[in-house]
Amino acid sequence: MRLLRVATCNLNQWAMDFDTNLRNVKESIARAKAAGAAVRVGPELELTGYGCEDHFLEQDTAAHAWECLKDILSGGYTDGILCSIGMPVIFKSVRYNCQVFCLNSKIVMIRPKISLANDGNYREFRWFSAWTFKDALVDFQLPLDISEVMCQDTVPFGYGFIQFLDVSLAAETCEELFTANAPRIDLALNGVEVFVNASGSHHQLRKLSLRIDSMRNATLACGGVYMYANQQGCDGGRLYYDGCCCIAVNGDVVAQGSQFSLKDVEVLDALVDLDAVSSYRASVSSFREQASHRTNVPFVKVPYKLCKPFQSGMVPTGPVEVMYHRPEEEIAFGPSCWLWDYLRRSRASGFLLPLSGGADSSSVAAIVGCMCQLVVKDIESGDEQVKADAMRIGQYKDGEFPKDSRELAKRLFYTVYMGTENSSEGTRSRAKMLAEEIGSFHLDVPIDSIVSALLSLFERLTGKRPRYKVDGGSDTENLGLQNIQARIRMVLAFMMASLMPWVHNKSGFYLVLGSSNVDEGLRGYLTKYDCSSADINPIGSVSKQDLRAFLRWAAVHLHYSSLAEVEAAPPTAELEPIRADYNQLDEVDMGMTYEELSIYGRLRKIFRCGPVSMFQNLCHRWCGTLSPSEVADKVKHFFKYYAINRHKMTVLTPSYHAESYSPEDNRFDLRQFLYNARWPYQFRKIDELVQDMDKDGKWVNSTEGELRRRKGVRSAEGGGMGVVAVGSANPSAGS
């Protein structure tokens, strides 16, 4: 029986903060050694942080990584333990994303990444090259100061595996886990038993199952031990790396780390039976057959034993049930941890939120409240780093520390209700009630006098005073009046964020939180530079439907009962006067429902649909509910306002990335912002298709039959959508 104790980890690294990163790497190695592990794997690019982006183009970045590695090797951290350490390496003037394998203060092998991530949020080809040479390992000349310390001039570099006396081990790096022709296939056929994966995988709603299934399937098909390490936390950008390090053996997950945590270092270990791997593979006839005529993979021989012989009381780690969070929990915990990292690393003193009493701003408030709950919980469990950060941010005196989430929120969270004559008593009372439940310092600030002053100034300049549409004004006047209110709120929010700490004799400044959701960003249903413009936005990539589900969950599980009332209220901007026969509603203003917006967003981004293909897709989805001409009107209406408002994405508040159809302009959704909003060619093609379909009696008949068959049934993907007036104005979506 060959027993091997292995360790993997989640590390909360910060891009370009080499001190923090090195400290976390050292701590993880020390904990792995204390657990008796013989192998330790860390996250991708752990010495530099994954999100350095164009800093990778600087020679300094690679040089500092080597300096940190030198510190680890000279400090004896790798004595008696094989460590995979992620860092950039420049070889023959080409930069590679590498795992560096170290043992007993020597470098055993450097494994460059061969499949780079280059879609969605990832741009690895901008900074790195993929290693394409698989036939042989080559000699890498170590930097002079490293070679002098190690008394080692060269090290094997390239694709291959390490053959120890009692086990063979190889690496995959992040994206390689998900590729069709994954490296582990040939490696497994060459007898490799242990795979280490250094990853930098960000959180996205409902994504974890893909990652877990990939690990399970990797070892289910080929057998073996799979060790997965990941970054954790906000390393300086929009992404939150959600950890969840794992160890899988022959299709079973035997250890799973936390997915959302405030910890800087989390180490996970397991005792695995390598003879069980050999037995598993030998029992599969097809595996034996393929392995018998494999393509040879180069390897490095290391005359060293990693395994331990069987002893009484040594029992291999058994399978565990994988823990998945519900989407509502992901919305609570992911952005909460991201906000905490941003708060403590920005050196800010807290957050300020314009709290309107609506679903979006209330969701943000609840997330901050959840953050406070997580901080207090970790302090109670003995996390000294979280305690020290909380004491500094909350400006506690010596010996004092947070013991209650509401008391902590009072110190670091301002909420401000900025009402006008158009605001209802319902939203005002809901905002106040939620603030009391969370514990924030709440202010109710009327802004009518500021609005009136601006309108008086405008009247003196032009001789005209705009009126709302319900009072006889034009669409232009109506929109202008709404935008004044929204932009005043932004200016006031930033003024209070900078001065309120001074008012309360606190040092520092507060970060302004935004609260526009992904659907409103996609549609452009927000005023440019209004109170949605902020420092950061934790829900900017979360759909309205998911937020409403989160509110229902948070009302119970976060104990903010007022959120149930918030969720039940119809979405409204409250920027127009309330009349007996008129009440402003978001979905009427937009000319589409939030449910429809989610469908448009997924088709546009995930399924890469332009106007024509979206029309064709929706004709099938909504067959039996809408006629082709009605579908055409909806598609045209969406693309018209998407095009008109795309420029708003260029100034969208940096948001937590949570959704795969995010319209975020900076890195994720790279499209132009100046469109021909008439889409003349595309809309003409749609009109032609509608005419052809109207002439086709078969389509009409099938529609009528489908309508009878599906009457009263609503599909989760959008079948049975309610018809919304398309010709409505676009009041609060100003330029």
Q: Which amino acid is at 19?
A: D
Which comes out higher in pLDDT, residue 692 or 720? 692
**Strand 82-91 relative to strand 39-41, pairing:** parallel
Alpha-carbon dihedral 564, 570, 575, 579, rounded to 10 degrees: -120
According to the model, what pLDDT value does residue 538 have? 96
Domains 3-324 and 591-734 share a fold: no
Supply the mean pLDDT for the chain.
91
Top-level class of domain 3-324? alpha beta
According to the model, what pLDDT value does residue 376 have? 98
According to the model, what pLDDT value does residue 694 have? 81
Rounded mean pLDDT, 440-444: 97
Q: How many CA atoms lie within 13 A of 689 on its CB side?
A: 22
* Closest by Cα among 278, 271, 280, 275 to 251: 280
The percentage of residues in the chain with a pLDDT greater than 90, rounded to a whole number, is 81
Tell whether the model's pLDDT for residue 725 goes beyond 50. Answer: no
Placement of tokens 């009302």 in the chain: 555
* Contact indicator for 560, 517 with CB cutoff of 8 Å: no
* Contact indicator for 147, 87 with CB cutoff of 8 Å: no
- Please give the DSSP secondary-structure letter assigned to residue 101: E
Q: Which amino acid is at 87?
A: M
Using CB atoms within 10 A of its CB, is residue 332 exposed (0-12), middle (13-18) or buried (19+)? buried
Tell whether the model's pLDDT for residue 291 goes beyond 50. Answer: yes
Tell whether the model's pLDDT for residue 671 goes beyond 90. Answer: no
Rounded to whole angstroms, how far apart are CA atoms 623 and 710? 10
Rounded to whole angstroms, how far apart are CA atoms 177 and 536? 32
Mind listing the pLDDT tens digit for each residue in 75-122? 999 999 999 999 999 999 999 999 999 999 999 999 999 999 998 899
According to the model, what pLDDT value does residue 735 have? 40
**Angle formed at CA 731 by CA 727 and CA 733, multiple of 5 degrees:** 105
* Contact indicator for 203, 173 with CB cutoff of 8 Å: no
Mind listing the pLDDT tens digit for each residue in 614-670? 999 999 999 888 999 999 999 999 999 999 999 988 888 999 999 888 888 777 888
Rounded mean pLDDT, 509-527: 92
Q: Which two tokens stand for residue 300?
A: 């490095």
Q: Angle formed by the axes of helices 611-621 and 594-601, to 10°?
A: 120
Tell whether the model's pLDDT for residue 711 goes beyond 60. Answer: no
DSSP per residue, 222-279? H--EEEEEEEEE--SSS--EE---EEEETTEEEEE--SS---SEEEEEEEEEHHHHHH
Out of 88-92, 134-138, 615-619, 723-727, least confident range: 723-727
Tell whether the model's pLDDT for residue 129 goes beyond 60. Answer: yes
Give the Cβ contact number of residue 707 at 10 Å. 13
**Strand 252-256 relative to strand 246-249, pairing:** antiparallel
Give the Cβ contact number of residue 628 at 10 Å. 24
Mind listing the pLDDT tens digit for each residue in 198-216? 999 999 999 999 999 999 9
Rounded mean pLDDT, 126-150: 93
- Name the helix (H) or strand (E) containing 86: strand 82-91
Q: Angle formed by the axes of helices 359-380 and 405-412, to 10°?
A: 120
Tell whether the model's pLDDT for residue 709 goes beyond 60. Answer: no
List 199, 336, 349, 356, catalytic entry: 356
591-734, superfamily in CATH? HUPs (3.40.50.620)
Rounded to whole angstroms, how far apart are CA atoms 714 and 304? 63
- Domain covering 328-589 assigned CATH 3.40.50.620 in the classification: yes
Mind listing the pLDDT tens digit for each residue in 470-499? 999 999 999 999 999 999 999 999 999 999
Rounded mean pLDDT, 381-405: 94
List 28, 33, 44, 263, catalytic entry: 44
Q: 138: helix, coil or strand?
A: strand
Tell whether the model's pLDDT for residue 338 goes beyond 50. Answer: yes
* Closest by Cα among 607, 648, 634 to 521: 648
Q: Decide if 174 is catalytic.
A: yes
- Band of residue 574 on the pLDDT scale cut at 50, 70, 90: confident
Question: Could you tell me how far CA 18 lies from the centroid of its own chain?
Answer: 23
Rounded to whole angstroms, how far apart are CA atoms 191 and 275? 12
Q: Decide if 44 is catalytic.
A: yes
Rounded mean pLDDT, 421-444: 96
Rounded mean pLDDT, 120-147: 94
Rounded to whole angstroms, how far apart are CA atoms 113 and 131? 6
* Closest by Cα among 598, 577, 581 to 731: 577
**Greatest CA separation found in the chain?**
94
Name, in order, each residue with C-beta under 8 angstroms of 677's C-beta and a sequence gap of 6 or more. 640, 643, 644
List 9, 68, 102, 174, catalytic entry: 174
Rounded mean pLDDT, 137-147: 93
According to the model, what pLDDT value does residue 652 have? 87
Tell whether the model's pLDDT for residue 728 goes beyond 70. Answer: no
According to the model, what pLDDT value does residue 34 have? 97
Placement of tokens 């009109």 in the chain: 687
Instruction: Give just the sign of the alpha carbon dihedral 206, 211, 214, 217.
Output: negative
Rounded to whole angstroms, how far apart are CA atoms 499 and 510? 9
List 33, 113, 469, 528, catalytic entry: 113
- Band of residue 301 on the pLDDT scale cut at 50, 70, 90: very high
According to the model, what pLDDT value does residue 314 have? 85
* Contact indicator for 66, 91 with CB cutoff of 8 Å: no
Domains of the chain, residue spans: 3-324, 328-589, 591-734
Mind listing the pLDDT tens digit for each residue in 675-703? 999 999 999 999 999 998 887 655 554 54
According to the model, what pLDDT value does residue 418 have? 96
Rounded to whole angstroms, how far apart are CA atoms 730 and 642? 12
